[in-house]
A and B are shown apart, each in its own frame.
Chain A
Amino acid sequence: MSALLEVSGVSKAFGGVRAVDDASLSVEEGSITALIGPNGAGKSTLFNCISGFLRPDRGQIALAGRRIERLPPHAIVHAGLARTFQTARALTRLTVLDNVRLAAPSHPGECLRNLIARRGAVRRREAQVTEEAFRLLRLVRLEDYADALAGTLSGGQRKLLDLARILIASPRLILLDEPMAGVNPALREELLAHVLDLRATRGITFLVIEHDLAFVMRASDHVFVMAEGRVLTEGTPEEVRRDERVIDAYLGTDV
């Protein structure tokens, strides 16, 4: 196995607050890697740096050997990295089906010129995209809601929609920001099963921020622990669980 994502020495400050401070981590191809740490540890800021929503002050980020830290978010998606957000970001006044279709890559119909010049190609791609979208909605069992507005879905269903939506672009690496937060226990099991299944069948790599330790213990191969902007330690879930510094960081005791 080799590192699919390599984060080295990334820092990001907001005013005087060093939200991420010289953080380094690497995610092995085909792994489910967890990123844990107490609130305010800088996990989400690091996610935003990786996915291009924030530009790091210092440091490098490489995806499959290609530097991405200066790319805008949409270009990073094209490079093969997709993400979800802490609260699901359903496009509420679009249908569930349109939420997925919108995420399809290289659609000629999204360019004004092609709508006139390449109408045939637009129609063919749209049919293809619709079929693929239905397949993904069936996968997460939302196909009955295809024509409903996404705003009518529950919080947990929106998380499933977020997942289906990014899958249509066939990402190599998916960043999940607290997938279990605000999801009822039944749907949690379903989400966990999806993550394991997607790795097994499609070889997708995951980097997951999660507070739900049951998820971390059951799903992840490797865990990075952040506290106060730094990567405190790393290891297998079992190693990390026994690490005194991790316990201290969560309980707020001095290291």
Chain B
Amino acid sequence: MTVLSSGEFWAFVGVMAGIYTLFTLGLQIQFGLAGLLNFGQVAFMAVGAYTMAILVVKQGWSMWLAAPLGVAAAALAGLLVGLPALRLRGDYFAIVTIAFSEIVRWVATNEDGLTGGSQGTINLRGEGVAAQYNSQWERFQGWLGEQLGIRSKDVVMLLVVWSVALLLTWLAGRLARTPWGRVLRGIREDEDAVSSLGKPVFRYRLQALVLGAALAGLAGLFYAWQFSFFSPDDFQPLITFFGWMILILGGVGRMWAVPVGALLFGFLFAATRFFDFPPFSYLDSADRAYVRLLVIGLLIIGLVLVRPQGLLGRRQEMVLE
């Protein structure tokens, strides 16, 4: 159990929770505010990460220029999906998003020339040359660590990710309380009623989708920086559903529920790693990996039974018709 007492391990858990906070904040804007069922959020994360990596490695751009372009590319992807698909009603839109996320993953897997293919970003310069997009980020991390007097790169990363995540959570919370957020919440309740009150519903839903996609793109950047390497396999649909679990755990419709849900989810995910006591120790490690997901699922079902509104949600809002 030495890992459990290691600061680096928990810093890693914290970084992941921060990245998932950004990722899920997008879902909270899309679903919690506007009622959009986006089951393809991971695609926007992939677009953000790949755009940055490709621009740095292939075009030789500065990371500081490539990063905002990664976010912009994710937002653009949201726009391109939304323009046709948001004309569909709820469930059909959900189907399109999940299909889109699989299309992105398969394109990334098969377009070796653009993305490095299934081998991931290490192949961005072609076979045999190890491509690297991360040197500028690591230099920045080192520099920031020196300024703050922090040795561990993980802790520096933790501070950066959470500063950004908390700032954006706060901003999103403010946005939700503006007249703009009010229209979105209205659309979540009844889009026909809102359009009968003179609001162009389509435009608002598109804005929510694009904002959420940009946040996923940002999460993709941090994901790429954290691991210095990624491949299409990192963008499985499961990631999107982890985001949804966080959303439900924390509470739908409350921005501050996202970091809380992400921390709880990160903790559950990390803690179940150490199931090396009976009865789990009777299984081999491969089986244990599945049992772990099963245990997480059961824990979440249990929590939802006790608090269907999530940790920070309002119970009253669950029962109104």
Identify the A interface with B (CB < 8 A).
51, 53, 72-74, 77-78, 82-83, 85, 89-94, 98-99, 101-103, 105, 107, 109-112, 115, 122, 126, 129, 149, 151-152, 165-166, 169
Per the bound structure, the CA–CA distance linking A83 and B198 in Å amounts to 10
Residues of A within 8 A of B316 (CB): 149
Would B200 and A102 count as touching, CB distance under 8 A?
Answer: no
CB distance from A155 to the nearest CB of B (A): 11
Identify the B interface with A (CB < 8 A).
175, 178-180, 182-183, 185-186, 188-190, 192-201, 207, 253, 316-317, 320-321
Residues of A within 8 A of B197 (CB): 74, 77, 82, 102-103, 165-166, 169
Per the bound structure, the CA–CA distance linking A51 and B188 in Å amounts to 21
Would A93 and B192 count as touching, CB distance under 8 A?
Answer: no
Specify the chain B residue showing the minimal Cβ separation from A79.
B198
Would B193 and A91 count as touching, CB distance under 8 A?
Answer: yes
Residues of A within 8 A of B201 (CB): 74
21 A-B pairs with C-beta separation under 8 A: A53-B195, A85-B193, A89-B190, A89-B192, A93-B185, A93-B188, A93-B317, A94-B186, A94-B189, A98-B182, A103-B198, A105-B198, A107-B179, A109-B180, A110-B180, A110-B183, A115-B175, A122-B179, A126-B179, A149-B316, A149-B317
Q: How many A-B residue pairs have CB under 8 A?
A: 96
CB distance from A222 to the nearest CB of B (A): 24
CB distance from A46 to the nearest CB of B (A): 16
CB distance from B118 to the nearest CB of A (A): 39
Per the bound structure, the CA–CA distance linking A102 and B182 in Å amounts to 6
Per the bound structure, the CA–CA distance linking A85 and B194 in Å amounts to 12
Would B189 and A93 count as touching, CB distance under 8 A?
Answer: yes
Cβ contact of A112, chosen from B180, B192, B195, cutoff 8 A = B180
Residues of A within 8 A of B200 (CB): 72, 74
Which of A74, A82, A111, A169 has the most C-beta atoms of chain B within 10 angstroms of its own C-beta?
A: A74
Specify the chain A residue showing the minimal Cβ separation from B198.
A77
- 8 A-B pairs besides A74-B200, A103-B197 with CB distance below 8 A are A51-B196, A73-B195, A91-B185, A92-B189, A102-B182, A102-B194, A112-B180, A169-B197
CB distance from A182 to the nearest CB of B (A): 14
Would B320 and A152 count as touching, CB distance under 8 A?
Answer: yes
Specify the chain B residue showing the minimal Cβ separation from A166.
B197
Per the bound structure, the CA–CA distance linking A165 and B192 in Å amounts to 14
Per the bound structure, the CA–CA distance linking A77 and B193 in Å amounts to 12
Q: A93-B320, A151-B320, A152-B320 are in contact. Are A74 and B195 (CB under 8 A)?
A: yes
Would A110 and B196 count as touching, CB distance under 8 A?
Answer: no
Would B178 and A92 count as touching, CB distance under 8 A?
Answer: no
CB distance from B30 to the nearest CB of A (A): 15
Would B192 and A102 count as touching, CB distance under 8 A?
Answer: no
Q: A94-B185, A151-B320 are in contact. Are A89 and B180 (CB under 8 A)?
A: no
Would B180 and A151 count as touching, CB distance under 8 A?
Answer: no
CB distance from B246 to the nearest CB of A (A): 21
Would A110 and B179 count as touching, CB distance under 8 A?
Answer: yes
Residues of A within 8 A of B253 (CB): 93
Per the bound structure, the CA–CA distance linking A53 and B201 in Å amounts to 13
Per the bound structure, the CA–CA distance linking A82 and B182 in Å amounts to 20
Per the bound structure, the CA–CA distance linking A102 and B194 in Å amounts to 8
CB distance from B281 to the nearest CB of A (A): 47
Cβ contact of B189, chosen from A73, A91, A107, A112, cutoff 8 A = A91
Would B320 and A74 count as touching, CB distance under 8 A?
Answer: no
Specify the chain A residue showing the minimal Cβ separation from B175.
A115
Per the bound structure, the CA–CA distance linking A119 and B199 in Å amounts to 21
Residues of B within 8 A of A169 (CB): 197-198
Per the bound structure, the CA–CA distance linking A115 and B194 in Å amounts to 20
Per the bound structure, the CA–CA distance linking A237 and B201 in Å amounts to 39
Specify the chain A residue showing the minimal Cβ separation from B193.
A89
Would B320 and A149 count as touching, CB distance under 8 A?
Answer: yes
Specify the chain B residue showing the minimal Cβ separation from A125.
B179
Q: A98-B182, A152-B320 are in contact. Are A82 and B189 (CB under 8 A)?
A: no
Would A111 and B193 count as touching, CB distance under 8 A?
Answer: no
CB distance from A68 to the nearest CB of B (A): 13
Cβ contact of A74, chosen from B188, B199, B321, cutoff 8 A = B199
Per the bound structure, the CA–CA distance linking A78 and B198 in Å amounts to 6
